[in-house]
Amino acid sequence: MTEDLLGRHRAVLPDWLALYYEDPLEITHGEGRHVWDAEGNKYLDFFGGILTTMTAHALPEITKAVSEQAGRIVHSSTLYLNRPMVELAERIAQLSGIPDARVFFTTSGTEANDTALMLATTYRRSNTILAMRNSYHGRSFSAVGITGNRGWSPTSLSPLQTLYVHGGVRTRGPYASLGDDDFIAACVDDLKDLLGHTRPPAALIAEPIQGVGGFTSPPDGLYAAFREVLDEHGILWIADEVQTGWGRTGDHFWGWQAHDRSGPPDILTFAKGIGNGMSIGGVVARAEIMNCLDANSISTFGGTQITMAAGLANLTYLLEHDLQGNARRVGGLLIERLRAVAAQVPGVREVRGRGLMLGVELVKPGTDEADPQAASAVLEAARAEGLLLGKGGGHNTSALRIAPPLSLTVAEAEEGAAILEHALRSTIQ
Ligand code: PLP
């Protein structure tokens, strides 16, 4: 049945719509941290959909909220007052830490970033944007145009002039000789040099930990150091928290907090986990920036009641059950366990990340050369034993990505780590 579906999929959908696995899975249902395929096989989901299942699959609290909302009204548009949208905006504005915050809901991370770019360029009257090497910000024309990851930039054309900044790296490999402070200083010098040769950019957009880029973790403080330079030039800082928000990184509610304890970004974008699979994205900015547009601008499906009901129930569950704390505790155990494995398997270059956002970088043993074949082989081997993982990295997707729902238990972390260890040992000796 799945085979037939694959043929039909290939006949009508684009070739570039990437599918995982040689024999792609058809997921039919889920519960907690597990999903099942059409043949009844059960998998531990270490990728949380695609970082979309933030709390758990089929969480009864969300199912109830969504079905009750569906029985009342699904969507009435933002032309009318919408109570769940106001409530979710109030909670996100408060959590963002941005003073006098305004929230605009979109339907995806791409649309959120596009909106952030429109706000920043309008506010600063500049269509030049600074972005990080190896970054990913979505698939609209502008979001692709500022995406530094060549594996995810189908066109080199862009409506924006983009300048790429050092600091987004596949691993610290090429910079391995530099300690954190020297690494940051080198990146700051690069930024200053760039700014000496251009008219003032509107903003720097960056993921605090790069997601699609393979969960690369810059040293804490990198963005704080960048920010000093940005502030001197009046350049806005847009934190793309599409993957790093909502406590996923364990130590912090937002990814930027690992870098800059002095204050929130000028603009913050979010998506993925907040809807637990329902399509919610959005932008938070202080009123002065958000209100710089002086034409009407709506997103037809942004803020729709059904998605807002899911977001409210999801966020309530996350906060009441301290899933950020859980991500810190369980993620801490998991990274220790995986680092112990890495020390024994030569092809594992690095285990990095924080909380429940962990990357395992694979290289050809004895070298620093990315090994995408190994990553694919480990992905297949883990699947055969009932574990789903993600992949990421630059053009060579040589990193395994681990981002389970934030309610992952210690027993499940242990089970997943044991399968991953076996898959690594049997695949890349
Ligand atoms: N920004 C980041 C950091 C992402 O990881 C993604 C998607 O993976 C996006 C933006 C785009 O989000 P979406 O796919 O919801 O448009």
Strands 387-388, 42-45: pairing kind: parallel
Lowest mean per-residue pLDDT among 213-217, 343-347, 395-399: 395-399
What separation in angstroms does the CA of 283 have from each of 24, 87, 252, 381, 411? 34, 15, 19, 39, 36
Exposure of 422 in the CB half-sphere (CA atoms within 13 A): 13
Q: Which residue among 47, 110, 246 is best mutated to probe the pocket of ligand 1, counting the most ligand atoms within 8 A of its Cβ?
A: 110
Q: Which atom belonging to ligand 1 lies closest to the Cα atom of 281?
A: 15
Distance 121 CA to ligand 1 centre (A): 20
- Ligand 1 pocket: which of 47, 137, 149 to mutate (most atoms <8 Å of CB)? 137
The pLDDT score that the predictor gives to residue 3 is: 67
- Rounded average pLDDT over 147-159: 86
The residue among 263 and 35 whose pLDDT is bigger is: 35
- Tokens representing 413 are 């972390």
Query: Sorting pLDDT into bands at 50, 70 and 90, what band is 159?
Result: confident
Token digits of residue 231: 């502030």
Q: What is the mean pLDDT of residues 92-107?
A: 98
> What local confidence, expressed as pLDDT, does residue 172 receive?
53
Supply the pLDDT for residue 152.
Answer: 86
How does residue 175 score in pLDDT terms, banded at 50, 70 and 90?
low
220 vs 12, residue with greater confidence: 12
pLDDT reported for residue 34: 98
| Cβ atoms of residues 129 and 203 within 8 Å | yes
For 360-402, the DSSP string reads EEEB-TTS--B-HHHHHHHHHHHHHTTEE-EEE-SSS--EEEE
Q: Parallel, antiparallel, or unpaired: how do β-strands 348-354 and 281-286 relate? A: unpaired
Q: What is the mean pLDDT of residues 397-420?
A: 97
pLDDT at 368: 82
Q: Is 153 in the pocket of ligand 1 (CB under 6 A)?
A: no
Q: How far apart are the first and last CA of the chain?
A: 35
Q: Which atom of ligand 1 is nearest to the CA of 113?
A: 10
136 lines ligand 1 (CB under 6 A): yes
d(CA 204, CA 120): 9
Which positions ≥6 away from 77 have C-beta within 8 Å?
A: 298, 300
CA-272 nearest atom, ligand 1: 15
Place of tokens 């519960």: 31
Q: Label residue 135 left, alpha or beta by phi (over 0 means left) and psi (-120 to 50 means alpha).
A: beta
pLDDT tens-place string over residues 318-354:
999 999 999 999 999 999 999 999 999 999 999 999 9
Say how many CA atoms lie within 13 Å of 312 toward its Cβ.
19
Query: CA gyration radius for the chain?
Result: 21
Q: What is the C-alpha separation between 355 and 271, in angstroms, rounded?
A: 18
Higher local confidence (pLDDT), 384 or 395? 384
Note the pLDDT of residue 428: 82
pLDDT digits over 33-53, tens only?
Answer: 999 999 999 999 999 999 999
Rounded Cα distance between 137 and 109, Å, is 8
pLDDT at 429: 64
Cα–Cα distance for residue pair 410/329, rounded to 1 Å: 9
Give the lowest-confidence range in 151-165, 196-210, 345-359.
151-165
CA-279 nearest atom, ligand 1: 15
Q: Quick one: which of 167, 48, 12, 22 has its CA closest to 412?
A: 48
Identify the CA nearest to 111 among candidates 211, 13, 240: 240
* Number of CB atoms found within 10 A of residue 315's CB: 22
Summarize pLDDT for 278-289 with one digit per residue, the tens: 999 999 999 999
Lowest-pLDDT choice from 165-169, 186-190, 305-309, 393-397: 165-169
Q: What angle do CA 240, 257, 89 make, to 5 degrees?
A: 60
3-class state of residue 84 by DSSP: helix
242 lines ligand 1 (CB under 6 A): yes
State yes or no: pLDDT of 426 exceeds 90. yes
Q: Is the CB of 243 under 6 A from ligand 1?
A: yes
d(CA 25, CA 3): 10
What pLDDT does residue 2 have?
58
For residues 376-395, give the mean pLDDT.
94
pTM of the shown model = 0.97
Strand partners, 34: 31, 44
Confidence of residue 120 (pLDDT cuts 50, 70, 90): very high
C-alpha of residue 209 to centroid of ligand 1, in Å: 13
Q: CB within 8 A of 376, min separation 6: which ones?
A: 391
Is the shortest distance between the CB of 244 and ligand 1 below 6 Å?
no
| Longest pairwise C-alpha distance within the chain | 62
Q: How many CB atoms lie within 10 A of CB 57?
A: 22
Instruction: Report the length, in residues, of the chain.
Output: 429
Distance in angstroms (rounded) separating the CA atoms of residues 238 and 115: 11
pLDDT band at residue 245 using 50, 70 and 90 as cut-offs: very high
When mean pLDDT is compared across 42-56, 154-168, 230-244, 252-266, the lowest value belongs to: 154-168
Whether the Cβ atoms of residue 213 and residue 179 lie closer than 8 Å to each other: no
